[in-house]
Amino acid sequence: MGRQSYRLSDIDFEANAKEGVAIDWPIRYKDVAPWYSYVEKFVGISGEKLNLPQLPDSEFLPPMEMYCVEKEVRKRIEKNFPGRVMTIGRVANLSKAGEAQLGVGRAPCQYRNKCSLGCPYGAYFSTQSCTLPPAAKTGRLTLRPDSVVTEILYDENKKRATGVRIVDAVTLQPKEYFAKIVFVCGSALGSTAILLNSKSNRFPNGFGNDSGELGHNLMDHHFRTGASGVWEGDLDKYYIGRRANGIYVPRYRNIGTDKRDYLRGFGYQGGGSRTGWQRNIAEMSFGADYKDELTKPGPWTMGLGGFGETLPYHENRMYLDKNEKDKWGMPLVVFDAELKENEKKMRIDMMNDAKEMLEASGLKNVRSYDNGSYLGMAIHEMGTARMGRDPKTSVLNANNQVHGVKNVFVTDGACMVSTSCVNPSLTYMALTARAADFAVKEMKRQNI
């Protein structure tokens, strides 16, 4: 998980309905806001308050500091482009450990930026550091590793799910587990594959698939376009530690009076850094002076990379191969999905705006790029079991509950009705907590 953590806003929740795209979200910001707060206080999100309608503030731990070049670029973007803001990334790394985090054995970030190796301090959010330890402490958690869930079991008489069938990843033996409630939260594509593979007389086309929408409306963000340049000056300045975070420019396109020839918008992630010894690798030079030069940091550079919203298109889909199976007996997943005109038009702005902002900020040698993006590349897959009010056009209701089966909930990216342009994990966490609360209450009311 890249750990960038942003809330969706009502601009996102209302966009489909206002623009007549796909179907309306069955919820609004006010329905999720308390649950964002709930998970943020537990997870720990570092960031800066901005009071922007398009990017509601979280419950923040102290923000990380911007580097000198970033502070300068921020000032100049805000001066030259009214309505655009640059802020430090909102990130699930503990800039300070509060009681909730210390209580589960986590410690503050050491700024070594070795997060990709796993964090021995539990300083960034992960299931291993943050959610599993307190769950284990309850004494009611059984973790069953090496379990490939292949199917949700359904009782036709009771009209309920009764549990799941798994295949042991090592022994390849099947086994069944039984439960009162099943939460499917195996990532959008994993969860949808399990649902599609769970067939019965009641659900011949996949679990809960009365609408025929299961597997459709596949979305992802599109990215890999932007610009970077060189900042001349501040060569006497460096930074302490290795900040595990970058900067963020929230969406500004199609907000307020801004109107483009495409729908929705994009944000930028990026940051400043000083180039290292690798900068001269192509020189193929030698000698003491040359080596001495390489021990010093090179010039500052700064980059902005866009993350754009992708619209939900019914024809963008995943399905299960009829013949081929993997080692564990699961049918292979097949994708048939593409970016379309709206995203292609947006990418032109994503590239050109980045160049324009960096040039206006005084960077030199600014180069823009579009390295192309395909659905799946940004690993923010969403939408294949969407929420909605009408069981005829959606798989889940407003509480992430399968319309046709009350004791099954799907709470990962599959539930999303649109993508916004922000990183989605925080929203999955908030929706999962909200659905879990709903499920407990429904059980107590004996509705499940």
Give the footprint of ligand SF4 on residues 79-108 (CB under 6 A). Answer: 93
- Which helix (H) or strand (E) segment holds residue 164: the answer is strand 160-168
Q: How far apart are CA 36 and CA 40, in angstroms?
A: 6
Using the contact rule CB under 6 A, the part of the chain among 121-129, 283-291, 300-308, 422-430 near ligand SF4 is: 121-129
Q: Smallest distance from the beta carbon of 242 to ligand SF4, in angstroms? A: 7
244 near ligand SF4, rule: CB under 6 A? yes
Q: Smallest distance from the beta carbon of 130 to ligand SF4, in angstroms? A: 12
> Minimal CA–CA distance to 92: which of 120, 68, 127?
127
166 vs 244, beta carbon nearer ligand SF4: 244
- Other CB atoms closer than 10 Å to residue 237's CB: what's the count? 12
Q: How far apart are CA 33 and CA 20, in angstroms?
A: 25
Q: Smallest distance from the beta carbon of 61 to ligand SF4, in angstroms? A: 13
110 vs 352, beta carbon nearer ligand SF4: 110
- Dihedral angle sign, alpha carbons of residues 256, 259, 264, 267: negative
219 near ligand SF4, rule: CB under 6 A? no
5 near ligand SF4, rule: CB under 6 A? no
Helices (H), 81-187: 99-102, 132-137
Size of the site for ligand SF4 (CB under 6 A): 13
29 near ligand SF4, rule: CB under 6 A? no
List the one residue from 61, 92, 123, 414 that touches ligand SF4 (CB under 6 A): 123
Give the footprint of ligand SF4 on residues 153-192 (CB under 6 A). Answer: none
Half-sphere exposure (CA, 13 Å, Cβ side) for 50? 22
119 vs 429, beta carbon nearer ligand SF4: 119
124 vs 266, beta carbon nearer ligand SF4: 124
Half-sphere exposure (CA, 13 Å, Cβ side) for 426? 36
Q: How far apart are CA 304 and CA 290, in angstroms?
A: 31
Q: How far apart are CA 421 and CA 435, in angstroms?
A: 23
- Report CA-CA distances (Å) from 232 to 68, 278, 354: 12, 19, 18
121 vs 177, beta carbon nearer ligand SF4: 121
DSSP codes of every residue in 380-397 = --B-TT-B-S-TTT-SB-
111 near ligand SF4, rule: CB under 6 A? yes
67 vs 409, beta carbon nearer ligand SF4: 67
Q: Smallest distance from the beta carbon of 115 to ligand SF4, in angstroms? A: 3
CA 350 to chain centre: 19
Q: Which residues lie below 8 Å from residue 252, measured CB to CB, with a gap of 6+?
A: 54, 81, 83, 84, 85, 258, 265
Are 163 and 179 within 8 A, CB to CB? yes
List the one residue from 63, 105, 113, 377 that touches ligand SF4 (CB under 6 A): 113
CA 436 to chain centre: 20
Specify the pairing of strand 225-231 against strand 247-249: unpaired
In 329-415, the DSSP E strands lie at: 331-336, 364-370, 408-410
54 vs 101, beta carbon nearer ligand SF4: 101
109 near ligand SF4, rule: CB under 6 A? yes
List the one residue from 114, 144, 159, 367 that touches ligand SF4 (CB under 6 A): 114
37 vs 110, beta carbon nearer ligand SF4: 110
Using the contact rule CB under 6 A, the part of the chain among 80-88, 114-122, 232-240, 368-376 near ligand SF4 is: 114-122
List the one residue from 38, 60, 81, 121 that touches ligand SF4 (CB under 6 A): 121
List the one residue from 124, 125, 409, 428 that touches ligand SF4 (CB under 6 A): 124
For 206: left if phi > 0, alpha if psi spans -120 to 50, otherwise beta; the answer is: left
Using the contact rule CB under 6 A, the part of the chain among 110-118, 267-275, 288-296, 380-388 near ligand SF4 is: 110-118
Using the contact rule CB under 6 A, the part of the chain among 22-30, 119-127, 170-178, 431-439 near ligand SF4 is: 119-127
Using the contact rule CB under 6 A, the part of the chain among 71-79, 120-128, 277-285, 402-410 near ligand SF4 is: 120-128
Half-sphere exposure (CA, 13 Å, Cβ side) for 74? 21
- Other CB atoms closer than 10 Å to residue 23's CB: what's the count? 21
448 near ligand SF4, rule: CB under 6 A? no
115 near ligand SF4, rule: CB under 6 A? yes
61 near ligand SF4, rule: CB under 6 A? no
Which positions touch ligand SF4 (CB under 6 A)?
A: 93, 109-115, 119, 121, 123-124, 244
